[in-house]
């Protein structure tokens, strides 16, 4: 029922030539598929070039961040409308690197979420606990707080049309080679689904996709996706290699075929 969403977050890793090359390779390797939506998320300055490279493919374009104002004196920031202009359909909000390195707060992320959805973009709101938070059994509390903060005043109308995606990314699993087990991930995903149900009711909550992220590889993709509430993957390091990422998308197609 929920189409999988597989997204490659390239972070601040690739130059222009590498970005276009990788995008072209992926455009060739990943055919259109009804069960899986695939999104490439390059850095801002290469959005335009990547958009052109994937123009005649099934791949979609995402941005790593967004600002909440429409225009004005906000040096260095980029508005939702500007992203749309270069073909962006998805935007990450609250990636843990922005929360922890750049100090972004739930209140700021809420403004970004609302502005991007209002402009017609789909928001991937990222949540997840740190290792000390997990070890002190605060995972659900942290995730609940991030969801409540990020989704304040985001009402049912705004989340229709698949405008909202949640990405559960345990901070201790990002770029570390440590992955949550499918069971650990499913436990948090099901908790997130419950919070979404409280906010939006059962039928709407059932349509909202919840991605897992954190050291996803082709070797663990299928097992994670086999879980009931894991509806896609947010892939960092493994999205920088064309074959590995294409294999993850293929694994998703196969799991979807069986689910
Ligand atoms: P990783 O990153 O796959 O390299 O762990 C995931 C992410 O940060 O989105």
Identify the pLDDT of residue 13. 98
Q: Is the dihedral of CA 112, 114, 119, 120 positive or negative?
A: positive
Q: How far apart are CA 258 and CA 93, in angstroms?
A: 31
User: What confidence score (pLDDT) does residue 170 get?
Assistant: 97
**pLDDT, position 177:** 84
Exposed (0-12), middle (13-18) or buried (19+): which is 93, by Cβ within 10 Å?
Answer: buried
Pick the residue whose CA is nearest to atom 7 on ligand 1.
236
- Residue 95 belongs to domain with CATH number: 3.20.20.70
Nearest of 255, 257, 182 to residue 216 by alpha carbon: 182
Instruction: Note if the pTM is more than 0.85.
Output: yes
Question: How many residues are there in the chain?
Answer: 259
CA neighbours within 13 Å on the CB side: how many for 161? 13
- Domain hosting 119: range is 4-258
Residues 240, 217 contacting (CB under 8 angstroms):
no
What is the structure's pLDDT at 230?
98
Cα first-last separation, the chain:
10
Ligand 1, pocket-test mutation among 169, 171, 173, 211, most atoms within 8 A of CB: 169
Atom number in ligand 1 closest to CA 237:
4
Q: 104 an active-site residue?
A: no
Handedness of CA 26, 31, 33, 35 (dihedral sign): negative
pLDDT in tens, the chain (259 residues): 799 999 999 999 999 999 999 999 999 999 999 999 999 999 999 999 999 999 999 999 999 999 999 999 999 999 999 999 999 999 999 999 999 999 999 999 999 999 999 999 999 999 999 999 999 999 999 999 999 999 999 999 999 988 999 999 999 998 888 889 999 999 999 999 999 999 999 999 999 999 999 999 999 999 999 999 999 999 999 999 999 999 999 999 999 888 7
Considering 95, 104, 227, 244, which one is annotated as catalytic? 95
Query: Burial, 11: exposed, middle or buried (Cβ in 10 Å; 0-12, 13-18, 19+)?
Result: middle
Nearest atom in ligand 1 to 176's CA: 5
Residue bearing the CA closest to ligand 1, atom 3? 236
Q: Report pLDDT for 179.
A: 86
What is the total count of domains within the chain?
1
Question: Please, is 203 exposed, middle or buried when counting C-beta atoms within 10 Å of its C-beta (0-12, 13-18, 19+)?
Answer: exposed
How much is the pLDDT for 1? 75
Kind and range of the H or E run holding 222: helix 218-225
């Amino acid at each position: 029922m929920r189409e999988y969403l597989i997204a490659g977050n390239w972070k601040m890793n690739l130059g222009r030539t590498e970005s276009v090359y990788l995008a072209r390779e992926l455009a060739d390797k990943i055919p259109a598929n009804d069960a899986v939506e695939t999104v490439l998320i390059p850095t801002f300055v290469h959005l335009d070039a990547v958009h052109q490279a994937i123009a005649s493919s099934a791949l979609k374009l995402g941005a790593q961040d967004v600002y909440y104002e429409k225009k004005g004196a906000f040096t260095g920031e980029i508005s939702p409308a500007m992203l749309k202009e270069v073909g962006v359909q998805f935007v990450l909000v609250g990636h843990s690197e922005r929360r922890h390195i750049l100090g972004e707060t739930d209140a700021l992320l809420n403004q970004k979420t609302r502005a991007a959805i209002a402009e017609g973009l789909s928001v991937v709101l990222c949540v997840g606990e740190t290792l000390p938070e997990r070890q002190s059994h605060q995972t659900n509390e942290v995730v609940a707080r991030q969801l409540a903060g990020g989704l304040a005043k985001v009402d049912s109308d705004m989340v229709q049309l698949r405008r909202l995606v949640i990405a559960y990314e345990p901070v201790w699993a990002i770029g570390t080679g440590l992955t949550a087990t499918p069971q650990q991930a499913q436990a948090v995903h099901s908790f997130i689904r419950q919070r979404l149900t409280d906010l939006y009711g059962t039928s709407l909550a059932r349509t909202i996709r919840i991605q897992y992220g954190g050291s996803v590889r082709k070797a663990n993709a299928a097992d994670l996706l086999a879980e009931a509430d894991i509806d896609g993957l947010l892939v960092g390091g493994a999205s920088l290699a064309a074959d590995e990422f294409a294999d993850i998308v293929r694994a998703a197609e196969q799991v979807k075929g069986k689910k």
